[in-house]
Amino acid sequence: MTYNLKYFGIPALGEPVRLLLHIGKYRWEDQIVTRDTWPSLKRASKWGFLPVLTTPEGREMTQSKAICRYLAKTVCISGFVLYPECPLLAFAVDEFIDVFEDIRMKVQPTMQIPDQQEKEEARAGMFGVSGECTELLMKIEAECGEEHMIGDRVTLCDLWAFYFLNLLRCSVFEGVPRDYLLAYPKLAQNVTTFGSLPAVREYYSERAEQNPMYALFVTAAPASD
């Protein structure tokens, strides 16, 4: 009995689901959706969006954050479940994830800009000195911990930060400076700390061999001097 994940072959919203399935040692298959297969899947899916996770019992689960919370309640690292039972800790996890999503929603519309140079310039501006994404990242940097986003334990928002901050510096969003994390030493350390976990390194070392887009996921975040 296996889970089936349907998502595009990029490290975007389906990526934290993939990583949770791997860390949790679930039996699962990664069904890559292409431009050719997506139209028929879109019509058949519940809300018309990906990712879609189908359970061994045949239930279709949608909405990336909801799927991740579901999985993270059973996935453990160092003896702690990734989605805390404590309501206040769970709120803190969700709050960080939602702020990262606020950043993504600022960048996402640039995908519709037809001119490549204009698209890249728009993204570069968002992450410039006075850019709106820079403003949010600075606030996250001020609030997060030195090695973990919250306290001294790994939680779902560490996984989310690792996925999202790497997504921004890989080739999905061309124009975002690949070294932008230099301005955020705590976030950079969080990325490096989570990325050094054996299960994470194992997973991305294999992925990087298959797809160069994943190369940065096995490279430590840049550190400031």
| 1/56 Cα distance (integer angstroms) | 5
- pLDDT > 90 fraction of the chain, expressed in percent and rounded: 87
| 200, 19 contact by CB (below 8 A) | yes
3-state secondary structure of 62: strand
> Does residue 151 have a pLDDT over 60?
yes
| 38, 12 contact by CB (below 8 A) | no
| 184, 149 contact by CB (below 8 A) | no
* Residues 30-40: tens digit of each pLDDT: 999 999 999 98
> Does residue 196 have a pLDDT over 60?
yes
Looking at the DSSP bridge assignments, the partners of residue 60 are 54
> Which residues of the chain are in CATH 3.40.30.10 domains?
3-77
User: What per-residue confidence (pLDDT) applies to 108?
Assistant: 94
| 140/71 Cα distance (integer angstroms) | 25
| 191, 161 contact by CB (below 8 A) | yes
- pLDDT > 70 fraction of the chain, expressed in percent and rounded: 98
What mean pLDDT comes out for the span 10-31?
97
Whole-structure pTM value: 0.95
> Does residue 222 have a pLDDT over 90?
no
Question: CATH top-level class for 82-197?
Answer: mainly alpha
Geometric angle at alpha carbon 196, from 195 and 201, rounded to 5° = 75
What mean pLDDT comes out for the span 104-124?
96
The CATH code belonging to domain 3-77 is: 3.40.30.10
User: What per-residue confidence (pLDDT) applies to 219?
Assistant: 78
| 55, 31 contact by CB (below 8 A) | no
| 8/74 Cα distance (integer angstroms) | 25
* Residues 37-79: tens digit of each pLDDT: 999 888 888 899 999 999 999 999 999 999 999 999 999 998 9
* Residues 153-173: tens digit of each pLDDT: 999 999 999 999 999 998 899
User: What per-residue confidence (pLDDT) applies to 224?
Assistant: 63
> Does residue 225 have a pLDDT over 60?
no
Q: How confident is the model at residue 83 (pLDDT cuts 50, 70, 90)?
A: very high
Residue of 139, 225, 135 lying closest to 187 (CA atoms): 139
| 110, 172 contact by CB (below 8 A) | no
> Which residues of the chain are in CATH 1.20.1050.10 domains?
82-197
